[in-house]
Chain A
Amino acid sequence: MGKTFGYDYTLIIATVAILLAIGIISLYGIGYYHNAGEENPSWTQGPKHTEYLEMMNKYTSPTVVALLIVLGLCIPKRVVPRDVLKRISWALVGVTAMLYFIRGITWALGVMLMLAIAVQTASLVLTLLKRGRLVYEKEGYLVQLGSAMLHLGVIILIFDVALLRGHAQHISIFWVAMILVTLGMFLSFYGRTDPRKWLPAIKS
């Protein structure tokens, strides 16, 4: 139990740190945009704006990859034994790094996201069927289902926004991800709440 707690706790700490890092990078972007606008109000019409967009994408890419790795270690622990998962994760990091140097970040991210979607979909299906050796932070069928939907939705969202912009189905996929995220969030937060709580009290 103690070991399990330590593993999950470490993953949560890593997740929090990565999320805060993305927030701080965004803050840096705000400062950069503001200063550039002060120097030249029409800077967004020139090449400097494109450089800025590329810079921000470059800075956030490693944190998104890190987030996916953590998600990859966190979510599938419900499906496969932890030792196997660790080996798979290291292999995934290795393959992603190799793809990054051979084909670039788009390919590396794409492969990683597709694998993450596949694993997370398996997680969701197993949760739906109440099968597998699933372990969640919070117990309760609806809460577990919500958590699986939420994380699958987030990964599809990243995949869609990062790699499918301009694709004919971009917005349709976005809506699917949005429904998964919102519904998953609702179930995850309120899945354990007794619905009678919302009904008016009956006086005997």
Chain B
Amino acid sequence: MLGYNGYLHARDVTTQFGEPVLLLAALASAALIIASFFYLWKGEKKSFEHIKKIQRANLALLILGFLILVWFHMKINQNIELVNLMTGEALGSYYVPLWIESEKMYFWVMWIGVFVYLLNRKGPTVFAAVSNLSFGLSVLITNFYSSPFKDPLPIFHGEISIWYTLIEQGNSPGAWNYTGQLFGKMAYFYNSTYMWVHPPLLFIAYASLVITFLGSVFMLKSKEISIDKIAYDHAKFGYILLTFGFLIGYPWAVTAWGDAQWWWDPKVSGSLMMWMFYTAYLHSYLYVNRTGMRRVTAVIGIMCFLSLVFTYLLTYISAGVHAYG
């Protein structure tokens, strides 16, 4: 059946190998959370070495899982080819991006792991321990609520399965119409260059901004210049990717959606809100040493992250052109 069986086999293998890898990562995360708590409680520098080792193992497992996803996506490309059912002409193969559907959260969390790894290299601190703890929690959440291995790419799978069912039933007019729909989505969504650039930039930015959020919470509690600087440095890096990621989406949106309909769409408004808040944070930080500005900057930093999470969730909870599904 035009590669469907090969695709199904690859999907099964992805679940078979990916689930244990993510489970191991979740176990490592539980150990990381315990080790981080222990460090926060006792404050022994030696125990931080354990945190570093567990975190490295955890990140390595997540990267291994990501490689399994890369393999799965390559198999999709090799096995499934859309065909004009009337003429037999090949319409193209899928190049499914690695950060859609349930893979989004996984990709984001993997990058949080990268930033926490870099933070650990700077030495043992309470802030690093809290960052490790947060990373551990985010892996656990991914394992329980957004595993990309449990039911790999459910929407894509549903779409492609319907197509194969229609072909099998010999429902030519239905299959013909449906092929047109699939081709449109393949060209403007799955295979679009934009989908390979815009989302990963944003997710890497989001991961960097998690560190800014933690730094802002610390800013509210105590005055440690080194933590302020870490938060600000991560905000700068995240902000560049965020801005570039947003802007690169604009020409694509104009081409794909036209001019008016997507303006002030919830996700667009949410992104604008987030960008404005982060711009405010970066400006506010310039005068962080002025009376009262420390607290203001910290509060804005926290607001920024709340707006980030809210904007991320908007895809799932609100209607609009970015709505999931």
Contacts and interface: CB of A to CB of B under 8 A. Distances in A.
Nearest to B248: A178
A23 B273 contact: yes
Contacts of A7: none
A185 B314 contact: no
B90 interface: no
Contact of A53 (B263, B270, B272, B314): B263
Nearest to A188: B236
Nearest to A33: B266
Dominant SS among interface residues on chain B: helix
A37 B265 CA distance: 11
A20 interface: yes
A100 interface: no
B318 interface: yes
Contact of B254 (A22, A44, A52, A171): A171
Interface string B302-318: 00000100000010001
Q: Which of B261, B276, B320 has the most CB of A within 10 A?
A: B276
Interface string B237-254: 001100110011011001
A165 interface: yes
Given A30-B269, A181-B243, A165 B259 contact: yes
B13 interface: no
Nearest to B290: A9
Interface string B259-288: 111011110011011101101100110110
B279 A19 contact: yes
A34 B319 contact: yes
B239 A20 contact: no
Dominant SS among interface residues on chain A: helix
Interface in A93-152: 137
B119 interface: no
Contact of B272 (A26, A41, A178): A26
B300 interface: yes
A30 B266 contact: yes
Nearest to A32: B264
Interface in A11-33: 12, 15-16, 19-20, 22-24, 26-27, 29-30, 33
A23 B286 CA distance: 20
B279 A44 contact: no
A104 to B, nearest CB: 19
Contacts of B320: 33, 37
Given A16-B283, A23-B273, A41-B319, A186 B265 contact: no
A189 B244 CA distance: 14
B272 A22 contact: yes
A149 B287 CA distance: 22
Contacts of B314: 30
28 contacts: A9-B290, A16-B283, A16-B300, A19-B279, A19-B280, A23-B307, A26-B272, A27-B273, A29-B269, A33-B266, A33-B269, A33-B318, A34-B318, A34-B319, A41-B319, A52-B264, A53-B260, A56-B264, A166-B259, A174-B247, A175-B251, A178-B244, A178-B248, A182-B244, A185-B240, A189-B236, A189-B240, A190-B236
Interface of B: 236, 239-240, 243-244, 247-248, 250-251, 254, 259-261, 263-266, 269-270, 272-274, 276-277, 279-280, 283-284, 286-287, 290, 296, 300, 307, 314, 318-320
Given A26-B276, A34-B319, A189-B236, 10 more contacts: A19-B277, A19-B283, A23-B280, A27-B273, A29-B266, A33-B264, A170-B254, A182-B243, A182-B244, A185-B240
